[in-house]
């Protein structure tokens, strides 16, 4: 049985394959199945967009599909950038990692310490090949926006250079976290752990 992981982000794909390594399902990427088109994200929530993407690629590939949507939410900015996390700077097109990092600190310039809380939020959607929604799950990791970004960068994950976790006194970035810290705090891992029971049931043929 194959599961299409609907992402073009190599870092995200690597994480998903790692955290689902124990599930007896073959994981394939959009590149593996020759899909290159993008989905217009017309939803008003992360969940709606995750389902939209999953259903689109399931229909196109004929495979059960796992898709996600998520972004950065800054409390003092009313939850911005939220669903426009990748288009925050230009609006009509995706911004580069460095543009997003610079823009975040520009927007936070006059926000005092103690009011710089923020979070990364993620929704996973699993749909069958016919588009039927099997499950959606949500996870988040909270921290603060410090006065400056991390010097480390994880390509495709700009907000990990912005979100600082006071509990571990580090940025939420795999380049600076220990393996143990990454395992404990990774919100994608927690979301995938919640999705695993559905995948295992499908793999066993029980649902």
Cα–Cα distance, 200 to 187 (Å, whole number): 20
Residue count of the chain, please give it: 207
Tell me the CA distances in angstroms from 120 to 23, 91, 132, 151, one per residue in order. Answer: 26, 20, 27, 19
Q: What are the contacts of 110-115 at 24+ separation with CB within 8 A?
A: 111/76, 111/145, 115/75, 115/76
Handedness of CA 27, 30, 35, 39 (dihedral sign): positive
Cα–Cα distance, 98 to 103 (Å, whole number): 8
Whether 69 sits among the annotated catalytic residues: the reply is yes
In Å, how far from its chain's centre is CA 173? 14
Which of the following is catalytic: 68, 69, 75, 173? 69
Nearest to 196, CA basis, from 23, 24, 61? 23
- Residues noted as catalytic: 69
């Amino acid at each position: 049985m194959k599961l299409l992981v609907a992402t073009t982000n190599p870092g995200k794909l690597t994480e998903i394959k790692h955290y689902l390594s124990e599930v007896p399902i073959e994981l394939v990427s959009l590149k593996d199945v020759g899909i290159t088109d993008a989905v217009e994200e017309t939803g008003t929530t992360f969940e709606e967009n995750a389902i939209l993407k999953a259903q689109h690629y399931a229909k196109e590939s004929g495979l059960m599909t796992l898709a996600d949507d998520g972004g950065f939410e800054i409390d003092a900015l009313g939850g911005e950038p939220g669903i426009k996390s990748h288009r925050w700077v230009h609006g009509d097109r995706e911004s580069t990692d460095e543009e997003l990092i610079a823009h975040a600190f520009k927007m936070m310039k006059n926000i005092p310490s103690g009011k710089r809380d923020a979070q990364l939020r993620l929704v996973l959607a699993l749909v069958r090949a016919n588009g039927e929604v099997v499950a959606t799950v949500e996870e988040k990791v909270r921290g603060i926006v410090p006065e400056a970004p991390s010097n480390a960068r994880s390509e495709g994950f700009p907000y990990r250079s912005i979100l600082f976790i006071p509990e571990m006194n580090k940025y939420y970035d795999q380049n600076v976290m220990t393996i143990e810290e990454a395992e404990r705090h990774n919100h994608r891992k927690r979301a995938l752990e919640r999705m695993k029971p559905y995948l295992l049931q499908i793999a066993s043929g029980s649902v």
